[in-house]
Every structure is written in C-alpha cells, then in structure tokens.
Amino acid sequence: MTVSGILYATADDLLGGLSADFISQLSTDGGATANPDLVQKAIRDASRWIDGYLGRYAPPIVLGVNGTQITLDTLQVHCVIVVKAWLFGRKTAGDAFKQPDEGWTNTRKFFEGIQGGKPLPGGIEPALDTLAVSVTGSSFPGEIVWDEDSGRF
C-alpha cells in the first residue's frame, strides 16, 4: 500500500502509547500480528481528519512552513489517540464512538476549539495576500463580491 501526504504519526509512534498486542488485536480479523496496511490506513485517515480542523493553517502542517516542532509533537499525540479510537471502533462496530474514552473526547474538543478560533500550539497561520471587501464588510482571500451596480461578480 502506498501512502501519500503528510502523516502526523507512524506505526512506531503507536507503540509508544499502545501495546503491540493491542494494535494486533484491533487491526486484524483473526491473525496474531498487526495488519500494517490497516494501521497505515488508520494513520492516514486520522491525519486527514486532523487536517479537516486546521483549515486556517493551510494543512498539511509542515515544519518551518506552517508549524513548529511543538505543533508536530502535539499533532502526533492527538493522531495516536484518533488512531486508537478508530481501531477500537472498528472492532466494536462503532460503540467506541458512542461511549468514547477521555482521550478521544479531549482530542475532539481540542480540535473543535482550534476550528472555533483557538490557536494551534506553535501553528503559523499563512498571511493573507489579497483581500476583497464585500458589501457585508467581511473579507476573505479570493472572495468573489457581487457588484450591485453592474449586476456581475
């Protein structure tokens, strides 16, 4: 399996917070060893889920571009928590999300806070190059504004 894009954790990072037996049990359907393709997919999916909350930082987060080592370390910890929840949810038919553990609940709240405007530790928001001002007074990069006089955008 080829994995593209930036991943915020590795299979080795999972072993720092989860036992090899736990990872094996949750990533297989009867085997005794972990399914590396499933583990990589879970890491990739968790990294993309995280990116979904980091829109204002222009993800993926890259050292020296839009993040610092603090940022990457923070995302690594949260990525491992998300992977654990997803692997556990896979074996419990989603019940892990109905009765989440404290780590999953705190991680979700952490990213919801960032999405709501709180800063990402060490994150670097990209500078806005150009602004267009709308009739409502809001401004966003590349915003298309309706011109009432000409009847065009």
Q: For residue 51, what pLDDT is reported?
A: 95
Q: How far is CA 128 from CA 81, 125, 131, 139, in A?
A: 32, 9, 7, 10
* Mean pLDDT, 10 residues at a time, the chain of 153 residues: 72 85 81 84 95 93 93 96 87 65 91 94 77 46 57 59
CB atoms within 10 A of CB 79: 24
pLDDT at 96: 55
The pLDDT assigned to 94 comes to 59
Q: Which residues, including other chains, have CB under 8 Å from residue 21's CB and lie 6 or more apart?
A: none
Q: What is the pLDDT at residue 145?
A: 55
Q: What does the pLDDT read at residue 137?
A: 47
Pair 98, 79: CB distance under 8 Å? no
Q: Are 71 and 8 in contact (CB under 8 A)?
A: no
pLDDT at 15: 86
Pairing of strands 139-140, 132-133: antiparallel
